[in-house]
Amino acid sequence: VGKEAINTDIVTLTRFLTEEQFKHKEATGDFTLLCHALQFAFKSISYYIRRATLINLTGLAGASNATGDDQKKLDVIGNDLFISAMKSSGRVRVLVSEEEEEAIIFNEYPNARYAVACDPIDGSSNLDAGVSVGTIFAIYKLPEGAQGTKEDLLKPGTEMVASGFTMYGASAQLVITMKGGTVNGFTLDNSFGEFILTHPDMKIPKKRAIYSVNEGNSLYWEEPVKEYVNSLKYPDEGGKPYSARYIGSMVADAYRTLLYGGIFAYPADKKSPKGKLRILYECAPMAMVFENAGGLAVDSHMRRMLEVVPQHIHDRSGIFLGSEGEVQKVIDVHKKHG
Ligand code: AHG
Ligand code: MN
Ligand code: MN
Ligand code: MN
């Protein structure tokens, strides 16, 4: 009784990566090893977040980072855990982190062939309230003969070989996608200490009446954004208004949007003409996940987010991402305004 209910053929992230590697004859295993190191970074960051209140890890670290955010103690620890995992993998040449002003070059591994960008803890202003946060990552492969500098990351998102994010919520979720591939979701089983494939081949619903934006910024919004959001709240006669959901952690708002559909936006506005979210470790990796799941992602100029090229490692952009049908509405309103 119940024997057939127990899955004895579990797809762990480790197994998934091995199977992916076998699909690529030319693969050397370097990317797989890099992902194993990433996996450890996620597990350890998740562990410290869950223990934070018990071991005096709440509150501010006392410094601010390159983009002007006050660093939380966990921002610093998450960053250190991430850096150490990437360095010890021996596969990463260049690392850009939200919490590091300059790109880190691992000179001890001059032949490493990957560059990584990360937001070690996204949504860190939510940490002390126990609200979901996560880690966002983007992986680039260095071209033949690359010197290993920050320029190796100042490229359009279309150059990424893989990206994804975790969300440390009621359980820890990991979403990962590879260039031209599907999107796969894993759940950390704490007793196994393994990420288990629970959401294979994720596809975002084509539409859904949910919008996610910090409406406290509406005073500063440009006309098309105001008009668009108003059209959701005050539909034509007989239409039903959209539901609003805003957590304030991009990973959590994006994860919900990926599963349920709808739109997440952080538009550029009069106060922040370049937007708030950062291209390399927030906008581009999320855009790749959403496109590979069948959704869309554009910036405030309605350009494909993945084609936006940052000039500096911490550059920002406005962003709209979500269901194809919902993002198309934003594009249509903007087009109308010319
Ligand atoms: P981070 O915690 O990595 O600095 O990112 C914060 C970002 C993102 O998670 C979220 O979508 C956004 O900031 C929320 O900003 P507001 O508080 O301005 O709404
Ligand atoms: Mn921050
Ligand atoms: Mn962030
Ligand atoms: Mn962060």
- For 306-324, the pLDDT digits (tens) are 999 999 999 999 999 999 9
Residue having the nearest C-alpha atom to atom 15 of ligand 1:
248
pLDDT (tens digit per residue) in 119-176: 999 999 999 999 999 999 999 999 998 989 999 999 999 999 999 999 999 999 999 9
| H helix or E strand, kind and range, residue 40 | helix 30-51
Q: Is 133 near ligand 1, meaning CB less than 6 Å away? A: no
164 DSSP β-pair partners: 137, 176
Tell me if 20 CB under 6 Å of ligand 1.
no
249 C-alpha to ligand 4 centroid (Å): 9
Which ligand 1 atom lies nearest to the CA of residue 122?
Answer: 3
| Distance, first Cα to last Cα, the chain | 65
Query: Atom 7 in ligand 1: which residue has the minimum CA distance?
Result: 123
H or E, element range at 34:
helix 30-51
Residues of the chain with pLDDT under 50: none
Q: Is the ipTM of this complex over 0.95?
A: yes
Q: Whose CA is nearest to atom 2 of ligand 1?
A: 123
Evaluate whether 305 touches 299 at the Cβ level (below 8 Å).
yes
Whether the full predicted model's pTM is greater than 0.80, yes or no, is yes
Q: How far apart are CA 120 and CA 130, in angstroms?
A: 17
Q: Whose CA is nearest to atom 18 of ligand 1?
A: 214
